[in-house]
Structure 1
């Protein structure tokens, strides 16, 4: 029986790896060792500890003769700066470095919120600075209430631009944002009952929602600051807002939202609308299904729906849609660690294909990739390493528009059945995945070309992290224990060992080679073999899973 009962005992290595991979982007041996032996509750509480971003704001090092620098806090209008597309990429580099600088659920949950309230940064989201505000809004609510976020997102400048709600007026309605708010961001469709009508809402509800959301406008200079979040926000033009009462369908109990005619009252009208949508159990279930797919597994049966999704939804409602208690319950549960049954066919650990962001981040954290410091070497970090190599090359070839999904629905891995996370891995995405480790080992872009200003020292990694490096079998198994969700068998161990010791040769050939390196500090031979071993182990099927 699927169970949300807390996991008993302490986390062993296998369970600690599982939690850290699912809950953070910064996955290294040090973190793994600190979580092994503690309880799931203590570990998850640690991951919910509030953090401060290592980089307070992004920095644009271009143009080199007079950098735009910290342009997001400049007094000029955001759209007066050049290279907006590159600046949006710079902002995602800022976000990624912050995620890599902490072991926390904050960035994992802010990315989850991005999958719930999607804004594609290069598809009509406006100036780069607006996207910076959008990402900060997601971070603000990462440990908070998703319902509160739903009340703030309609006035986010990037969202107003992205889904055209800044052009939604009482005499010229635009239903784009209202439709996506119901269909994709909150309650979802449910079973279709007729043309444009679904179990959870009807076409009439979209029309009424658009009226609630009319008159919302972007504030180009970001001079209006929200009192609760401290972040820039759009504004309401009451002359363009539909002040009539809005009556919704039977899907919402024929509820009527009273129309208002002043900005503070129109905000109350929005609050009433969001409260109405979030009072539906289907809204809570929609988010809990998304959480389950994000943290646990892409597919589930009726038992999981009854024993996991439904009680989580009830907990979400009772906590006013605050994510922290619900995520804690899930990540501390027997079910999350696959400890609630003996069915070998429904394994949870190692069941999700990593997205390209997780693939990159784990590799950088585990192997301690040396990449430029964004504070002291901004040009090489933001422009050469992140923008040219990671953003424009790796993510492109790995099949992920970073914070730029092609559809408002988001990344297919989180909504498109039947493949879900298997969408991340295909013949079209192999180049990006397989050549990333090659690029880091070579210190150059092997996907296309150019200097990446980043490198993995495989010899140092082994010397610093592997206790039994002179024994080829133990060397392989210890690396596998760090890289893979599950232990590997003898056949896989022997396959990987062949990169250190040629077939037919005894193991002591590697032992002598390694000991010779330790005594002479000549790493030429061991580096060649370890580079080949690490490349093979990272590009193996086992590393693609978490």
Structure 2
């Protein structure tokens, strides 16, 4: 197995599809064709170029007549916090669709590493949740260790894992436990009573003392000097002011207690530095990166030859995420080119999450979404369909996984990403394309969704030779599926488009449409074809 980068050859369409699906929520024919002509290095460089959010800040159009508007920049107190949290997720998703950037995928990856739920367990203020999402965006292509320091002071996290209740005289170990077990070094193999190789129960207790006295700042008037984002603060009189000595898992490191706000923050930084000095921490993040960007499972050879060297690179780079992402995304292994067979392991190996599935459909078919401020009410009615029917009913409550461990697809073996595609989620997944074609929510009593896919216009404006049934099906399958499909599959799709008629039937129908603008026949046939193409097993994978 080779860990070296690809050579200078261009990606081609197949590898461009693979790269774009794994790195962006925006997936278009035009971008695919442009990436196909680039080398992996140049393509990744293009994808890491970030642009300013087209929707600068969340906007609440309610109450009618006197909207709360851009409430996140106001010091006033507002009602409707549950609605506003959903608006924050709408703001994030809308901007993710507008940018062909790795940043949003990396941001959501960080959400899987440092989990906060917008509702489960409660984060109280929607503005706190907004700050949390912005913090992930800020470090999406930045430094993991720095984020691991900043996340402790995030108001949403302080509430979500109860650290705002952690005092010297009344310690709360919840955040300390999850910080070690899930957020950073991870729990290793248990080798003794309360000893998990990478840390011990004693370390959890001592870490809770390090975190004591760090609490929310309700007015959001403490601004982090590095990020410009509101954060919590240290309450010195509630912090444990004893020195902290950790177990042999951390070489019995002693951290000197702080007695001032600045010294307590240094104490916290010393603790994070100690955790990140352990090789197990770098390895834990590289396993998460592998599972998120490449594949859910791997063999011992892959761990030895790819993941562990990547972890050493992460240490060398002082936990800067972008250099590691570049190495991962330009490696032969990422494109399944490190052995004799390049179609058996990586490409098409991950079941799309509901987020990936819907975002690809919306961006590929160029759906016109109402503007979130100029047409706010229709936008939010559409997003309610997205949030409830496309995400939650399909097994992905958006930005609110049911546990602090995150979505089962990223941690729960042996199924991992197969959790996305089950008897409970398959119908909502299949309803997505049918709802968009109808402009009605098939999972919710055919309620109007304010967005409709005009498949006839899309085909006319975007497909190379729409009058040829064979060319049309080949182009669709080439663009939509990770791998080329067999002639047998194409014949099956042709049967959907043509019914029992010969291929000339479609040509005549298309010519009739272009001359008369009567789309009665072509619309019906195209909607049948697209429904089958999107709900086929090939499209469920990336």
* TM, length-normalised to structure 1: 0.97
Q: Is the 8 A contact 1:151 1:271 kept in 2?
A: yes
1:412 to 374, 398, 408: 408
Q: Which residue of 2 aligns with 1:215?
A: 213
Q: Give, in whole Å, the separation in 2 of the partners of 1:10 and 1:530.
A: 33
Q: Give, in whole Å, the separation in 1 of the partners of 2:132 and 2:407.
A: 18
Q: Is the 8 A contact 1:175 1:210 kept in 2?
A: yes
Q: How does 1:177-192 map to 2 (within 5 A)?
A: 177-192=175-190
- Residues 92-127 of structure 1, C-alpha deviations (whole Å, 9 max, x = no match): 000000000100011100000000000011022221
Moved >6 Å (runs of 4+): none
Q: Is the 8 A contact 1:4 1:307 kept in 2?
A: no
2:291 to 293, 300, 304: 293
1:525 to 497, 521, 528: 521
**Other structure's SS at 2:65 match:** coil
Q: Which residue of 2 aligns with 1:28?
A: 28
- Residues 331-363 of structure 1, C-alpha deviations (whole Å, 9 max, x = no match): 001110011112468420000000000001000
Q: Which residue of 2 aligns with 1:358?
A: 356
Q: Which residue of 2 aligns with 1:535?
A: 531
Q: How does 1:267-282 map to 2 (within 5 A)?
A: 267-282=265-280
Q: Give, in whole Å, the separation in 1 of the partners of 2:194 and 2:367.
A: 51
Aligned-residue CA RMSD in angstroms? 1.1
1:196 positional shift: 2.8
Q: Is the 8 A contact 1:4 1:330 kept in 2?
A: no
1:191 positional shift: 0.5
Q: Is the 8 A contact 1:371 1:455 kept in 2?
A: no
Q: Which residue of 2 aligns with 1:389?
A: 385
**Other structure's SS at 2:191 match:** strand
- Residues 255-289 of structure 1, C-alpha deviations (whole Å, 9 max, x = no match): 01110111111111111000000011110000000
Q: Is the 8 A contact 2:50 2:99 kept in 1?
A: no
Q: Which residue of 1 aligns with 2:158?
A: 160
Q: Is the 8 A contact 1:163 1:177 kept in 2?
A: yes
Q: Which residue of 2 aligns with 1:501?
A: 498
1:514 aligns with 2:495: no
Q: Which residue of 2 aligns with 1:19?
A: 19
1:120 aligns with 2:117: yes
Greater CA drift, 5-14 or 109-118: 5-14
Q: Which residue of 2 aligns with 1:10?
A: 10
Q: Which residue of 2 aligns with 1:459?
A: 456
> How many residue pairs align between the two structures?
540
Greater CA drift, 460-469 or 100-109: 460-469
Q: Which residue of 1 aligns with 2:314?
A: 316
Structure 1 residue runs of 5 or longer lacking an equivalent are none
Q: Give, in whole Å, the separation in 2 of the partners of 1:342 and 1:67.
A: 61
- Residues 78-98 of structure 1, C-alpha deviations (whole Å, 9 max, x = no match): xx3222111111100000000
Q: How does 1:104-115 map to 2 (within 5 A)?
A: 104-115=101-112
Q: Give, in whole Å, the separation in 1 of the partners of 2:92 and 2:19.
A: 22
Greater CA drift, 205-214 or 373-382: 373-382
Q: Give, in whole Å, the separation in 1 of the partners of 2:536 and 2:512.
A: 29
Q: Is the 8 A contact 2:336 2:342 kept in 1?
A: no
Q: Which residue of 2 aligns with 1:86?
A: 83
* TM, length-normalised to structure 2: 0.98
Q: Give, in whole Å, the separation in 2 of the partners of 1:182 and 1:47.
A: 32
1:399 aligns with 2:395: yes
Q: Is the 8 A contact 1:7 1:339 kept in 2?
A: no
**Other structure's SS at 2:258 match:** coil
